[in-house]
Amino acid sequence: MSSFYLTTPLYYVNAQPHLGHAYSTIVADTMVRFQRQRGHDARFLTGTDEHGQKIQRAAEAAGVSPQEFTDRVASSFRAEWDRLGLQYDFFIRTTEPRHTAAVLDIFERLRQNGAIYKGSYSGPYCVSDELYVGEGQPGDPCPICGRPTELVSEENYYFKLSEYGPKVREHILAHPDFIRPETRRNEVLAFIESGLRDVSISRTSIQWGIPVPGDEKHVLYVWFDALIGYLSGIGYGSKAAVDQQNWQKLWPGWHLVGKEIVRFHCVYWPAFLMAAGLPLPRGIIAHGWLLFDQEKMSKSLGNVLRPEPIRKLLGADVLRYFLLREVSFGQDGNFSHAALVDRYNSDLANGLGNLASRTLAMIERYRGGLVPATAGAGIPEDFTKHFEDWQFSRGLEVVWGLIGAMDRYIAAEKPWDLAKLPDPAPLDQVLGTAFASLRTIAVLLSSAMPETAAKLWTQLGFSGSPAIEFSKLETGAIPAGHRIGKPEALFPRLDKEKTVEELRHLEQTPATPAPAPDPHISIDDFAKVDLRVGTVVTAERIKGADKLLKLTVDIGTEIRQILAGIALAYDPATLPGRKVVVVANLAPRKLRGLDSNGMIVAASVGEAGTPVLVSVPDDTPNGARLK
């Protein structure tokens, strides 16, 4: 059995999961389920991209630490995919230690292979896309998102993209399927041919990232870090034999990406891998954007819709069907509530639902629920070809073609008249054919609409799952005496206006009602903060960190190392012997590679937030608690 390993991008956690994210995850889930039916050992990785300035700023805006913020949003992504029944096999968060281990391993390989050097950059930078914009002035629009760039000046580690770019080009030329669709392939080739500069893979302006070993004031560039998630998530970087075997079995895999991140996946990523001496991906498949009101659905445009209202009211499969059918894969596609309900009524209620219920009702009425013996209907080749080719809309058209053909067949054969004939054969033929088609339809739909396929399967009287391998179905005749299950409407017709209204209403209702803001905290809340009196023992500057001082502080029970952002306001020589107030139970953290175990309390004064140390009388004993 050959393996098929597919990834979605790792989603930025500055936004809650929305329909645009759901689109790519649904596509991946469908493809993986389909590949299983093709007989492959298919696996699916997704995850979250949690480092970088964008996330750091989002956490600041939310008033929580980056770790707390990313924990919260990453779990809402997982919860969303779980509710939608998306069966990822691996979920990687770029803040996990196993990921850091993999990133450092690859960084080291690149360093050893001479693919990294130190250089400096001064110029425009897009925070949103975490991108250095080679040309132009700060303030110019970012070439990807159009937002104004900012000025950054940094000394950085550079990756020799200029050296690897031509090799990536050769690979693309030698592998026509490496980038799909063709338009994206041409775009990438043109980009490489325009001449590639080396890329910076570290930042000093950001703290929220993986520090460069031995040079901790640098953190690794978020894209360098995140792409490696495709490997760390399947075991790369782990010493355990089972992990090693796992990634070696699955890699190289396929990447599904949105069109705006093709460059990172088709140029940078293969170049990093080449330089690290690792195999390149099998291929990169780019999809278009899901639009709402003809604009890309995105947090920054404020036009995002959540998957949850649709799932809650109509079920996950209705959303899956709509997205896979309506969007012509590779192109942009528009979402609207009205179009969703129209498709539901025409294709699901009148189409599939109606064929299933009338066929089963006739088998019940004319044959007491027993299916006449019939040859199995095979898998239409076009369907397989289209799904294999990521053309889900076309593949589903094949299924709906079959549904339409069966409807016409039943209308032409008039089983209600055949039932009056003394010879049972003509009616058996019609009922058997319609039943066998429904069985095939359930099997075909089990990747795109797994819940519906399973329900239909049960109604057809089968046990187990319809997600069976295609090769096993083709020979499967249905023997006499097979009894159908209990028919139930799969898709009751909807009142369009009412449903659209209800969906819009649900969209306005927040997922979890936000608690009414209360400006007060309880005494118990305050008691959680362990404030202690201490005396500074030593104080020194930290090389390369203008604002930080490294202090040791006697807090009565022990001497703590604490890093404090007070270097611009206090000369370290004046601090030893000084009384301070310490937050003693703050979770330890690393800053610039150094441990900080607590926080010194200071008033923040003026626009610049100049720190002023809080003091207590000199005879207050160390360790005394403030309460």
For ligand MSP, the binding residues (CB under 6 A) are: 9-12, 20-21, 23-24, 49, 226-227, 229, 257-258, 260-261, 289-290, 296-298
State the virtual CA torsion across 268, 271, 277, 278 in degrees, nearest 10.
50
Shortest CB 322 distance to ligand MSP, Å: 14
- Nearest to residue 539, comparing CAs of 559, 517, 556? 559
Distance CA 387, CA 34 (A): 8
Tell me the residue nearest to ligand MSP as measured from the CB.
258
Of 15 and 62, nearer to ligand MSP (C-beta) is 15
Shortest CB 11 distance to ligand MSP, Å: 4
Using DSSP bridges, classify how beta strands 625-626 and 150-159 pair: parallel, antiparallel or unpaired. Answer: unpaired
Of 233 and 466, nearer to ligand MSP (C-beta) is 233
Shortest CB 258 distance to ligand MSP, Å: 2
Distance CA 210, CA 225 (A): 8
Shortest CB 172 distance to ligand MSP, Å: 19
Of 10 and 536, nearer to ligand MSP (C-beta) is 10
Of 286 and 494, nearer to ligand MSP (C-beta) is 286
Tokens of 484: 């159908």
Q: How many CB atoms neighbour CB 115 within 10 A?
A: 22
Tokens of 327: 């969007």
Is cis: bond before 515, omega within 30 of 0? Answer: no
Tokens of 33: 């389920």
Of 25 and 622, nearer to ligand MSP (C-beta) is 25
Of 14 and 35, nearer to ligand MSP (C-beta) is 14
Is cis: bond before 181, omega within 30 of 0? Answer: yes
CA distances from 204 to 152, 157, 200, 210, 303 (A): 10, 10, 11, 11, 34
Q: How many CB atoms neighbour CB 465 within 10 A?
A: 13
Shortest CB 477 distance to ligand MSP, Å: 43
CA distances from 607 to 68, 196, 564 (A): 27, 42, 19
Of 41 and 295, nearer to ligand MSP (C-beta) is 295
Shortest CB 62 distance to ligand MSP, Å: 17
Shortest CB 227 distance to ligand MSP, Å: 5
Radius of gyration of the chain from its Cα atoms, rounded to whole angstroms: 30
Of 228 and 545, nearer to ligand MSP (C-beta) is 228
Shortest CB 220 distance to ligand MSP, Å: 13
Distance CA 156, CA 199 (A): 9
Residues 56 and 208: beta-carbon distance below 8 Å: yes
Of 49 and 96, nearer to ligand MSP (C-beta) is 49
CA distances from 307 to 61, 341, 446, 478, 534 (A): 25, 15, 20, 39, 52
Using DSSP bridges, classify how beta strands 531-542 and 625-626 pair: parallel, antiparallel or unpaired. Answer: antiparallel
- Nearest to residue 143, comparing CAs of 130, 153, 152, 133? 133
Of 50 and 502, nearer to ligand MSP (C-beta) is 50
- Nearest to residue 48, comparing CAs of 90, 19, 20, 83? 90
Shortest CB 141 distance to ligand MSP, Å: 18
Shortest CB 506 distance to ligand MSP, Å: 20
Of 7 and 446, nearer to ligand MSP (C-beta) is 7
Shortest CB 247 distance to ligand MSP, Å: 16
Shortest CB 601 distance to ligand MSP, Å: 36
Residues 99 and 229: beta-carbon distance below 8 Å: yes
Shortest CB 126 distance to ligand MSP, Å: 13
- First vs last C-alpha separation in the chain: 66
Of 298 and 552, nearer to ligand MSP (C-beta) is 298
Of 23 and 272, nearer to ligand MSP (C-beta) is 23
Number of residues that this document lists for the chain = 627
Shortest CB 20 distance to ligand MSP, Å: 2
CA distances from 98 to 105, 160, 214, 289, 508 (A): 11, 26, 19, 32, 39
CA distances from 477 to 145, 426, 606 (A): 55, 18, 82
Question: In DSSP terms, which residues pair with 92 in a beta bridge?
Answer: 47
Strand, helix or coil for residue 545? strand
Distance CA 322, CA 343 (A): 7
Of 32 and 533, nearer to ligand MSP (C-beta) is 32
User: Which residues, at least 6 apart from 498, have a Cβ–Cβ distance to it below 8 Å?
Assistant: none
Residues 582 and 559: beta-carbon distance below 8 Å: no
